[in-house]
Amino acid sequence: MSNLTLCVLLMICSELIASSSQMFLKKSAGISYDNRIKEYVNRYVITGYIMLFVSMLITIRAYSFADSYMNVPVLETMGYVFVMVLGRIFFGEKITRSKIIGMLFIFAGIIIYYLP
């Protein structure tokens, strides 16, 4: 398996975890808490950040298979699509035309960036 393939696979894995973590954070953001501390220290936020820590470790590993620094941040943008789909599933957020057009631009950008 080439370094690029490994980098891409690790990033897909990392972004799936990171996107799911955002659902926990958003879930918590929609709940009223008695105080500020509870806004941060609750099961949703803690679960979300544990997932984010795991995703970060996977991303660090992905960097070691990347030729240049920017290769990884460009792949991280896959997370936006994952979040859009998950946001619809879990929160009924609408996937509007502008969101779809914006996503197409983002993917076109990633592809152009990685063209040989």
Residues 79-98 within binding reach of other proteins (CB under 8 A) = 79-80, 83-84, 87-88, 91-98
- Minimum CB distance to other proteins, residue 59 (Å): 6
40 binds other proteins (CB under 8 A): yes
Reference 14, options 64, 51, 68; nearest CA is 51
- Minimum CB distance to other proteins, residue 1 (Å): 18
SS (H, E, C) 22-40: HHHHHHHHCCCCCCHHHHH
Q: Which long-range contacts (CB under 8 A, 24 or more apart) does 31-40 make?
A: none
In the chain, % helix, strand, coil (3-state, to 5) comes to 80, 0, 20
For other proteins, the closer of residues 17 and 83 by Cβ is: 83
37 binds other proteins (CB under 8 A): no
4 binds other proteins (CB under 8 A): no
49 binds other proteins (CB under 8 A): yes
